[in-house]
Amino acid sequence: MQDFVFHNSTKMIFGKDKETLVGEEAVIYGKKILLHYGGGSVKTSGLYDRVMGSLVEQGIEVFELGGVKPNPRVSLVREGIALCKENNIELILAVGGGSVIDSAKAIAAGVKYDGDVWDFFEGKSEVKDCLPIGVVLTIPAAGSESSSGTVITNEDGWYKRATGHNSMRPKFAVLNPVLTYTLPPYQTACGITDMMAHILERYFTNEKHVELTDRLCEGALRTIINYAPIVLENPTNYDARAEIMWSGTIAHNDLLGTGRIGDWGSHDIEHEISGIYDIAHGAGLAIVFPAWMKYVYKHDVNRFVQFANRVWDVEVDLNDLEKTALAGIKKTEQFFVSIGMPVTLTEVGIGEKHLGEMARKGTERGPLGNFVKLQEADVLQILRLAQ
């Protein structure tokens, strides 16, 4: 087991109607807040009014910045930073999914920095401090509600890059499963894929003695696999939505990565795809992950056998471990298909054109991944396997 520091101080407030408590939590950090959100759905659903009511009740002055898009853009982040600086904002409240929270995190870091916020994403500078962030989560997927990271897209060259710091973890996050009832099936499935990918990135490690975290990972994966078809069939099943929502947080709050070095190659490859094509992150992961698995499984067949057996109930064939490993990969791919995800680039209309560019851009700062270090040629082969 590797040495580690685990410090996740996000206060999770989980349950029905809990968004009405957001004012009480927010006022702890100040009386001037930036309400950050995406499109109009928070308004049509009535969520905006409930959140506003709770904030106003506490005498909070609310500034607003809507318009966050999926794969959130650095241009809006810069706008948010200016707005916060001008108005001495004390807390950013993100109401939405991972894109809104990630955008809020980037703003929160940028407010405390004199240079351009993109410096953090290019590795030119490191985040040291942030404005406090609060969350009302509407899409269980990215795990950003208690994670320390953010992913932002720069329209200038369509780079999609990540950065992180412990100060970026939201101070509090409100999780009401009822808010996810209206998520369309495709978006629900993308979220499910994203949270599974967060666990898989941590699961495929070269660290040998990580049984506790292995088993916690397997338990979370099995839960998601069990409840995914239930929420897709019955979107208003509270208990199923609750299991999926809480799993999405656990998948990415860093507990499942303690004591080990995760991979993250598939996420980085996906960022190249959705940086150029603007497809949903979850859909991109459903395409990349099975291809990545097929490309790397021989690096540690036993780990893939354990995955097949403990997560997918594939019986271990001691005379043909590779067959067992491949059966687990097949089950993963079939599962993504079963929840309506694409598993090939062709399905989402992505052809040969930019594959070379993605492989090059993805590796221009060094090889991707840790389980297996992927050079440009490896990434290109994985993208070809995903065609």
Residues that bind a copy of itself (CB under 8 A): 1-16, 18, 208-209, 211-212, 215-216, 218-220, 222-223, 226-227, 238-240, 242-243, 246-247, 250, 255, 258-259
- Closer residue to a copy of itself in complex, CB, 218/270: 218
* Cα distances (angstroms) measured from residue 156 to each of 117, 163, 172, 281: 14, 18, 33, 20
Q: Is 198 helix (H, G, I), strand (E, B) or coil?
A: helix
Angle, CA of 72, 75 and 78, to the nearest 5°: 105
Minimum gap (Å) between residue 241 Cβ and a copy of itself? 10
Minimum gap (Å) between residue 135 Cβ and a copy of itself? 14
- Closer residue to a copy of itself in complex, CB, 10/193: 10
Q: How far apart are CA 148 and CA 167, in angstroms?
A: 7
Report CA Rg, the chain: 20
Q: Which amino acid is at 258?
A: T
Minimum gap (Å) between residue 248 Cβ and a copy of itself? 10
Name every residue whose Cβ is closer than 8 Å to that of residue 240 and which is 6 or more positions away in sequence: 227, 230, 231, 234
- Closer residue to a copy of itself in complex, CB, 250/325: 250
Q: How far apart are CA 252 and CA 195, in angstroms?
A: 7
Q: Is 34 helix (H, G, I), strand (E, B) or coil?
A: strand
- Closer residue to a copy of itself in complex, CB, 195/382: 195
Minimum gap (Å) between residue 194 Cβ and a copy of itself? 16
Give the H/E segment covering residue 95. strand 91-96
- Closer residue to a copy of itself in complex, CB, 6/40: 6
- Closer residue to a copy of itself in complex, CB, 43/209: 209
Q: How far apart are CA 354 and CA 276, in angstroms?
A: 8
Minimum gap (Å) between residue 247 Cβ and a copy of itself? 5
**With contact defined as beta carbons under 8 Å apart, do 363 and 356 qualify?**
no
Residue 56 Ramachandran class (φ > 0 left, ψ -120 to 50 alpha, else beta): alpha
- Closer residue to a copy of itself in complex, CB, 111/242: 242
* Cα distances (angstroms) measured from residue 375 to each of 263, 359, 369, 378: 14, 8, 9, 5
* Cα distances (angstroms) measured from residue 265 to each of 62, 76, 275, 302, 359: 40, 27, 15, 20, 12
Task: Write down the residue that tokens 């992505």 correspond to.
Answer: 350
Minimum gap (Å) between residue 212 Cβ and a copy of itself? 4
- Closer residue to a copy of itself in complex, CB, 82/212: 212
- Closer residue to a copy of itself in complex, CB, 47/343: 47
Q: Which amino acid is at 276?
A: I
Q: How far apart are CA 311 and CA 359, in angstroms?
A: 31
Q: DSSP secondary structure string, 296-339?
A: HGGGGHHHHHHHHHHHH-PPP-TT-HHHHHHHHHHHHHHHHHHT
Minimum gap (Å) between residue 5 Cβ and a copy of itself? 5
Minimum gap (Å) between residue 46 Cβ and a copy of itself? 20
- Closer residue to a copy of itself in complex, CB, 15/185: 15
Minimum gap (Å) between residue 209 Cβ and a copy of itself? 4
Minimum gap (Å) between residue 138 Cβ and a copy of itself? 18
Q: Which of 17, 37, 231 is nearest to 140 (CA)?
A: 231
